[in-house]
Chain A
Amino acid sequence: MNPRIDLKNVSRVYSDANGTPFTALHDVSLSVEKGEFVSIIGPSGCGKTTLLRLVAGLDLPQAGTVSLDGEQIKGPSYERGYVFQHVNLFPWLTVQENISSGLKARGIFKSRKDDVPAFIKLAGLEGFEKSYPHQISGGMAQRASLARALINDPKVLLLDEPLGALDSFTRFALQDIILELWEQRGATMLFVTHDVDEAIYLSDRIVIMTPRPGEVSEIVEVKLARPRLRNDAMFFALRSSIMEKLHLVGSRRQPEYFL
């Protein structure tokens, strides 16, 4: 199959405030198929956000190549939509104006004006069209961000811990919305998270990364039938094997007393 997103031997070094170099990504190679849902998981500082920014074109690699459909990525494009962790709706625009801002930025708002209500409905924000971002809840704002990215019909949707700042109830609800959108629209999804359950629940494959320097340590295929159950035995088995790989299980200590 022809891979859509292709990273080949990509490295990115930043220098911190003191000028000390810091390797965010070291020799990373990764291919993501068209329409695939891939999660990237790892502790902070492992370069998962950097990887996403490189695919978005917000940042360029110092070595290696990043390409989409064989074409090298040189800058941002509406074909690669991006949803940030922290709400990044424009505070000076209403929900409706925010959702249509992608169309306006590309100068095609006039011809596609009629699509906007459908995307407001998709995000479940009917009745809040005229609200400003600070007047709606975090979950609603993140749904608006999703709708704003999706209205451009991106080939790839890059999600940088989009649910990280939400409470767990809202998070579960939004996970289902994201899955639904993915199944409907067939965009390739690259999803950065630090929540193992979330990664298993959503993805076809999970890329596990390790920090200092940021490297891909392993890629786990999630062979669970969809729709998935959060309390399935297979789910838990996979969860504990990933936790172990991330060294999150913790060492076994002898309990101090027995009941």
Chain B
Amino acid sequence: MLAFALALASSLILPNKQAKLIPLYYQIVLGAFIVFLSVNCVIGLRSAKHAAKFFPKGQLFFALGLLFFAWDFFSAKTAIMPLPFYPGPTQIVQEAVADYKILLISSAHSLRLFALGFSSGIILGISTGILISWYERWNYWLFPVIRVIGIIPAVALIPIAMGIFPSSLMVGSFLITMCLWFPIAYMTRSGIANINKAYFETARTLGANESWLIWRVAVPGALPSIFTGVSTGIALSFATLVVSEMVGARAGLGWYLNWAKGWSVYSKVYASIFVMGIEFALILRGVGAIQSKLLAWQKGLVK
């Protein structure tokens, strides 16, 4: 397992052909990997439980090490993959560190936009879903609307949204809301429709009123399906987030990406892509954690 770390280290010794680089930051990143893995190895040797959890991932980390090595080798060391489109990892890490303030601010902007759109999308989606599954009249008028608007990609609404809303923050959060609203409303409706009627009847013989039926039977019963809607919507909303920032905004990761491209600084483009990847992965992690907490009762049920 330490072999890959050697591959990483040795790649640093070779001379650089892509000029003018400060390899220090990249070396720190690699060093951090080595320290992280060695620490885990030592713990793994002491505790069997940790070993069972960590050692199976060894091959994956090995491949990651080789990937770093190959990338560095073909771009920075030998220049087989030419600049400006294929900067080496050294350069990307260096740019990311140099620009870390802008990247942080951009991430914060993107996160704020996402948080706004995400929360309003979820609230609107669930409440629409409840309305259309509970009241026949709402279903009659709203369900066709959802079916039609739901299939239009939110990105297509950018020109209209830019005309209607005064600020780019509102445009972006509107678009993200649209991404989440319809899949969630749709899945809430089908989730509620699939709840066994016996649960509603039981609740009524226990003395439940209508709001108890909605909030204590319909919503928890439809929750697994609601989360399906959320994960569909979330994937769409990431795409929409980046595109809407690239088009209209003066801040955010999408804007940074576009700006870096304008200057042909591809190392910055890669850097912002990496940051996006990390940020979105963290968001998905968070949603996943909430999901497994709320759906703990499903654990062990046959899926």
Contact = CB atoms under 8 A, between A and B. Distances in A.
Contacts of A82: 201-202, 205
Given A88-B199, A91-B301, A102 B207 contact: yes
B212 interface: yes
Contact of B206 (A94, A132, A135, A149): A149
A88 B216 CA distance: 14
Interface stretch (A23-31, A72-80, A245-253): A72-80
A105 B206 contact: yes
For the side of the interface on B, what is the size category?
20 to 34
Contacts, number: 71
A212 interface: no
Contacts of B199: 88, 90
Given A105-B206, A132-B297, A149-B206, A90 B217 contact: yes
A214 interface: no
A101 B297 contact: no
Interface in B192-227: 196, 198-199, 201-209, 212, 216-217, 220-221, 223
Most buried by A among B201, B202, B209, B300: B202
Contacts of A134: 300-301
Given A90-B217, A90-B220, A105 B297 contact: no
Given A84-B198, A86-B198, A104-B216, A92 B205 contact: no
A110 interface: no
Contacts of B300: 132, 134-135
A152 B202 contact: no
Interface in A129-152: 132, 134-135, 148-149, 152
B202 A88 contact: yes
Nearest to A59: B201
Given A88-B198, A91-B297, A92-B223, A76 B205 contact: yes
Interface string B49-83: 00000000000000000000000000000000000
B297 A78 contact: no
A135 B302 CA distance: 12
A213 B204 CA distance: 29
A226 interface: no
B208 A105 contact: yes
A148 B203 CA distance: 11
A219 interface: no
A88 B220 CA distance: 15
Interface in B174-208: 196, 198-199, 201-208
A160 B298 CA distance: 27
A80 B205 contact: yes
Contacts of A77: 205, 207
B205 A81 contact: yes
Contacts of B223: 92
A93 interface: yes
Contacts of A56: 205
A132 B196 CA distance: 17
B206 A102 contact: yes
Nearest to A85: B198
Contacts of A135: 300
Nearest to B295: A92
Interface of A: 56-58, 75-78, 80-82, 84, 86, 88, 90-94, 101-102, 104-106, 132, 134-135, 148-149, 152, 158
Closest 7 CB pairs of A and B: A78-B207, A105-B208, A76-B204, A82-B205, A102-B206, A106-B207, A92-B220
15 contacts: A57-B205, A58-B201, A77-B207, A78-B205, A78-B206, A80-B205, A88-B198, A88-B202, A92-B220, A94-B297, A101-B216, A105-B208, A105-B216, A149-B205, A152-B207
